[in-house]
Amino acid sequence: MDKVKFFAIFLPVLVGLAFLFRILVPIVIATVAICIITMILFGKKNNNEFFRKFQAKEPTKFVCIECGYYHNENTCPKCGSKIKKYYTKP
């Protein structure tokens, strides 16, 4: 009779724990994955030392819309215009 009481008490507890782990484990894995992805994205945004080796070595180039001069400054050094677009190699 003791075994029946034991299983009557602990079987629902064990089933409940199994159900709880089945729900919580994917949530924990997803949370860890989201944290890792967020750290990677913020690391790239803040230009950390770890991500510098993966970035392009050449500087950013812009093309002035008004005069067509290639530069990497905020304003065009040739005409002083701030209207520019990002230069991509053809």
pLDDT in tens, 8-22: 777 888 888 788 888
Confidence of residue 90 (pLDDT cuts 50, 70, 90): low
pTM over 0.85: no
State the pLDDT at residue 15.
83
Q: What is the domain partition of the chain in residue ranges?
A: 1-55, 56-90
More confident: 57 or 2: 2
- Residue 81 contacts residue 88 (beta carbons within 8 Å): no
Instruction: List strand residue ranges (DSSP E) for 2-80, in order.
Output: 62-64, 70-71
